[in-house]
Structure 1
Amino acid sequence: MKKVKLYIARHGKTMFNTIGRAQGWSDTPLTAQGELGIRELGIGLKEAGIVFDAAFSSDSGRTMQTMEIILKECQQEKIPYTRDKRIREWCFGSLDGGYDGELFYGVLPRTKAFENGRDMKDVPYPELAESLVEVDTANWAEPWPVLRKRIYDGFEAIAVQMEEQGGGNAIVVSHGMTINTFAWLVEPNQPRLSLDNGSVTVANYEDGRFILETVGDMSYRQIGRKILEDVENA
C-alpha cells in the first residue's frame, strides 16, 4: 500500500482578503490576482511531477474555485473530488465579514484571554476560540472542543479514506486558520505562521497518526511563477 500524503493548500486570494475583512463562514470569490496565484501553484505542482489520487476541499466557494484551477493546471480534472464542511474556516459569528482590524485588534483584545497585554500571537487557539464565543452576539462561533473536533476529524477522515483506498496523494484545499489549527493539533510546538494564499502544508499519515513534513511552503508557487514568466518573455 502506498503511503498517505495530504498536500493541503490555502485557497487563493479573495476580495475580502484583499480589503482586509474577516472571512470565516462568509465567502467571496478569488480576485484576478488570486486566480493567477493559484495558476502558479497548479503549474508548480505539475512541474514537480506530483500525481494526485483524490481531491478534497471545504464547501466554501473560494476553496472550490481554487480546486478547479489547481486540477486544471495539473491536468488532473478527472480524479474523485469531495467537499467536506468540516474543513471550513473558523466561524467568526456576528463578526464574520467585519474588518480584520476591528476583530483582531479592537474587539478580541478586550476579552479575558488578552489581559496583561498579551498579543494575538501569544494567545493559544483554545483561548482564542473562547474569546470569539465571548464576543459573538449571534452565538454562532464554535467553542474550542467543537472547533478542535471538527477540524481534526475532517482531515483525519480524508486520510483514513485515502488509506482505505490503498494510499496515495490527496490535494486538499482549506483555509488559513483551519490549516494552522490542524498543524498545531498535530504538533503543539509548531510555530504559528501566517500562511500565504496558495501555500502548501504537507502531512503524512501512517499508523493512525499524522506527521507534518512542511508548513506554509511557497516553493510550488514560486516554480509556477517562474514558468509563467519564462513563457511571457519567450
Structure 2
Amino acid sequence: MSRTLVLVRHGQSEWNLKNLFTGWKDPDLTEKGVEEAKDAGRSLKEAGLIFDLAFTSELSRAQRTLALMLDELGAPSLPTIRNIALNERDYGDLSGLNKDDARKKWGEEQVHVWRRSYDVPPPGGESLKDTGARVWPYYIHDIQPKVLGGGTVLVVAHGNSLRALVMALDGLSGEEIVGQEIATGVPILYRLNADSTVAEKVVMEG
C-alpha cells in the first residue's frame, strides 16, 4: 500500500518575477519556472515514484507545471483532474497590482495584514481561511480517498492552496501556517497511515 501524496507548487510565474499579486489571474511560467517544473519531475523520477493520478487547478501556470513534470516522469498521459477548488487564493482588488504600489496605496502595515494574516481578506478577495474552506472539503472528498486506497497521487497547485493542505496535514494553527513558505517547484512528499494521519513527510529540496 503506497498511500503517497506529493504536493508541488507551480514554477515561478511571470507575475512572481514582476512582484505582482497574482491570485486568479493567469500568467504563464518564466524560463526559470519551466526549469523548476522540469527539475521537480526529474527529482520525483529519481526517487522512483510512479503516479496513479494527478490533481491540479484551473490556472494555466499549475497545469503547465504539471505537464512539464509528467514529461520528465515519462507519464504525459497520466489521468489528471482539474478543479477550481485548488486555485490560488483570490487576491480581489489587489490582483495585478505591484506589491510596492499596493503598499503605497494602503500602507505597509495593512498590506502585510492582508498577505500574512490567517483570516483577514483583502478587498473583494479571500483570506487563507477562505481558501482553506474550499480546499479542505475537496481534499477530503476527492483526493484523500485516492491516497488512502493505496494510490500515489500528485497535486500541483499554488502557494496558498497548498499552504491550506499543509496546515491540515501537519496539524498547524492559523498563526503557524501563515509563516510557512511553500517554495516553487519543490516536491513535498507525504506518506499517510490508514487512518489518514501522516506517517512521514519529506521536502525534496535539491
TM-score higher than 0.5: yes
Per the alignment, residue 182 of structure 2 pairs with 195
Deviation at 1:206, TM superposition (A): 4.0
Deviation at 1:88, TM superposition (A): 0.8
Kindly provide the amino acid, as one letter, of the partner of residue 82 in structure 1: I
Q: 1:5-59: per-residue Cα shift (whole Å, max 9, x none)?
A: 2100000111001111111101111111111111111111111111111111111
Whether contact under 8 Å (2:89, 2:128) holds in the other structure is no
Whether contact under 8 Å (2:41, 2:73) holds in the other structure is yes
Q: How many positions carry a matched residue from both structures?
A: 201
Give SS of 1:209's match.
Answer: coil
Query: Aligned equivalents of 2:164 and 2:105: distance in 1?
Result: 22
- The Cα RMSD (Å) is 2.8
What is the TM-score normalised by the length of structure 1? Answer: 0.74
Query: Aligned equivalents of 2:14 and 2:65: distance in 1?
Result: 14
Deviation at 1:149, TM superposition (A): 1.9
Give SS of 1:24's match.
Answer: coil
Query: Aligned equivalents of 1:107 and 1:214: distance in 2?
Result: 39
Structure 2 unpaired stretches of 5+: none
The structure number with the bigger radius of gyration is: 1
Whether contact under 8 Å (2:54, 2:79) holds in the other structure is yes
Deviation at 1:151, TM superposition (A): 1.3
Are 1:159 and 2:144 an aligned pair? yes
Deviation at 1:64, TM superposition (A): 0.4
Kindly provide the amino acid, as one letter, of the partner of residue 195 in structure 1: I
Are 1:92 and 2:91 an aligned pair? yes
Query: Aligned equivalents of 1:49 and 1:70: distance in 2?
Result: 14
Kindly provide the amino acid, as one letter, of the partner of residue 199 in structure 1: V
What is the TM-score normalised by the length of structure 2? Answer: 0.83
Per the alignment, residue 147 of structure 1 pairs with 131
Deviation at 1:146, TM superposition (A): 4.1
Per the alignment, residue 66 of structure 2 pairs with 67
- Shift in alpha-carbon separation, 1:212–1:30, aligned structure 2, 3 A: farther
Query: Aligned equivalents of 1:82 and 1:120: distance in 2?
Result: 29
Query: Aligned equivalents of 2:18 and 2:30: distance in 1?
Result: 11
Give SS of 1:62's match.
Answer: helix
Kindly provide the amino acid, as one letter, of the partner of residue 209 in structure 1: S
Kindly provide the amino acid, as one letter, of the partner of residue 173 in structure 1: V
Relative to its length, the structure with more helix (as a share) is 1
Q: 1:200-234: per-residue Cα shift (whole Å, max 9, x none)?
A: 2233444553427437x242xx2xxxxxxxxxxxx
Per the alignment, residue 225 of structure 1 pairs with none
Are 1:101 and 2:88 an aligned pair? no
Deviation at 1:100, TM superposition (A): 2.5
Structure 1 unpaired stretches of 5+: 223-234
- Shift in alpha-carbon separation, 1:161–1:47, aligned structure 2, 3 A: closer
